Amino acid sequence: MTAATLTQNETRQVPKRRHKPFTWSQPLVYLIALVVVSVTIAPVLYVILGGFRSNRAITEAPAALPDPWIWSNYRNVITSERFWGQVLTSSVTAIGTTFVVVALGVSVAFVIARYDFKGRQAMYSLFAAGLLFPLTIAVLPLWIMLQQLGLLGSVWGLIIPQAAFALPTTVIILTPFLRAVPVELEEAAAIDGASKVGFFWRILLPLSGPGLVTVGVLAFVGSWNAYLLPLFVLAAGGVPVEQFTLPLGVQQFSTQYSSDTAGVLAFTSLAMIPALIFFLALERRIVSGLQGAVKG
């Protein structure tokens, strides 16, 4: 089986099976599933439930349920400017990164996939080589460079480098998508008077929707969870905490209020809720995107 068939098979409908007789292996499977799920979820539940307790209760019985339920920790976070400022920064950065990387990525993938010119293969290899340059290696010079460009402390200082580092995966996933559209379609469009650019806008883009969603979700996830670059661009850039991204902000909050465990738990759980909702809704896209990313 080649790697390419993986995604096809993943989306393939599995035919319904007839009812199977009971076997003893079945309860064992449920037990294992239960254990795995509990270990996975327990820390998350601890954080969420801990936010409903008082600091004294947490100290006295660290692993107990809320009794009584206290809403003040969550209320304090929800009414704080800091939290919403950070939600805003994270959202703007993630949406901006997604938009920039999809726009740049689909344009260059269009050229690589649909134009015949010398240097096309070289262009593709240039982007493929980018997979070997993670942000970690480039972050120090990037930091100096952003300082000189005056982008330190600005969301553009996050958006542009993040988009640049997401381009290799994006191009590698999108190029085959755009190439898969049959030449006949392009010829038919040309006969109907569409230019190549018109073909790109009216036919290619609508047809490559699923690919665009996949790369978009990957870029969004990467940006939303990013820590290293915001650490350099925002924290070391001297930005006030209200303009931090959430991961940076949560970390900063937990250092600043380290004695207020309940407050930290409430802040942490509110910070993970938007990500949880968004990503669980798009779980399949993320998985297929990750498979595609490594295959390329």
Partner 1 sequence: MSSQIEAGPAVETAGPAPAQGPARSRSRIRKRIEIAAFAGPALLVYVTFVFVPVVLAAYYSFFNWNGIGPLNRFIGIENYTRALSDPVFHNAIKNNFVIVGLSLLIQGPLALAIALLLNRRIRGRGVVRLLIFVPYVLSEVIAGLAWRLILQPHGPFDSLLERLGLEGLRQQWLADPKVALWVVFGVLTWKYLGLAIILLLAGLQGVPDELMEAAAIDGANWWQIQTRVTIPLLGPTIRIWAFLSIIGSLQLFDMVWILTQGGPLNSTHTMASYMVLYGLNRSQVGYGSAVAVILFVISLTVALLYQRFALRRDLAGALTSRTT
The contact pattern for partner 1, residues 200-239, with x = CB under 8 A and - = no contact, is ---------------------x--xxxxx--xx---x---
Q: Is 276 in the site for partner 1 (CB under 8 A)?
A: yes
Stretch that binds partner 1, among 65-73, 79-87, 190-198, 208-216 (CB under 8 A): 190-198
Question: Which of 233, 246, 266, 289: binder of partner 1 (CB under 8 A)?
Answer: 246
Using CB under 8 A, which of 75, 78, 150, 196 touches partner 1?
A: 196
- Cα angle 198, 199, 200 (rounded to 5 degrees) comes to 90
Binding partner 1 (rule: CB under 8 A), the pick from 88, 104, 203, 205 is: 104
Residue from 88, 108, 244, 115 nearest 172 by CA: 108
| Region from 76-84, 91-99, 208-216, 287-295 binding partner 1, contact rule CB under 8 A | 287-295
How many residues sit close enough to partner 1 to count as binding (CB under 8 A)? 117
Q: Both tokens of residue 153? A: 């402390």
Q: Is 132 in the site for partner 1 (CB under 8 A)?
A: yes
Phi, psi of 208 (to 5 degrees): -100, 20
Give the shortest CB-174-to-partner 1 separation in angstroms. Answer: 11
Contact positions with partner 1 (CB under 8 A) in 35-64? 36-37, 39-41, 43-44, 46-47, 50, 59, 61-63
Neighbour tally for 97: CB within 10 Å? 27
111 near partner 1 (CB under 8 A): yes
Q: Which stretch binds partner 1 (CB under 8 A): 77-85, 91-99, 155-163, 204-212?
A: 155-163
81 binds partner 1 (CB under 8 A): no
